[in-house]
Amino acid sequence: MHRRFDIATRGPGLTEFTRDVANFVDSASADEALLTLFVRHTSCSLLIQENADPEVRGDLAAFFHRLVPPGDDPAMSYLTHTYEGPDDMPGHIKSAILPTSLQIPVIGGRMALGTWQGIYLFEHRQRPHRREVIGLLR
């Protein structure tokens, strides 16, 4: 069983879509399975992260912005892929560092996430995008 999740981002940062994935798993009526999520883009990532304190999401976004600054930052002067804007190649770098797929066990018909874990799309580009994530349950 598979499903496409369409996720609207508001620019850089983490967008949670745990509830949508949980509804998909629930509709599958699978007692035990493995859920795979895969993002179909090269300038965003997928994460399992704390969903209780929004400061965690802000701190993660700030850390990765410092780790890989925009292409017009002097520290990034070595970049050659710059024609799509100063956020494009840094988005590809972040996507190469972070996961673009996740595997989550399903036990007793529910995702085996921890109490404070949520599923996020991490947008690395500056402007809003519509992103596609494919979910496959086996």
Burial class (CB in 10 A: 0-12, 13-18, 19+), 90: buried
Is the distance from CB of 43 to CB of 89 less than 8 angstroms? no
Q: Which residues pair with 106 in a beta bridge?
A: 33, 111
pLDDT tens readout for residues 58-84 = 999 999 999 999 999 999 999 999 999
Q: pLDDT at position 132, please?
A: 98
pTM over 0.85: yes
Q: pLDDT at position 55, please?
A: 96
Confidence tier at 87 by pLDDT (50, 70, 90): very high
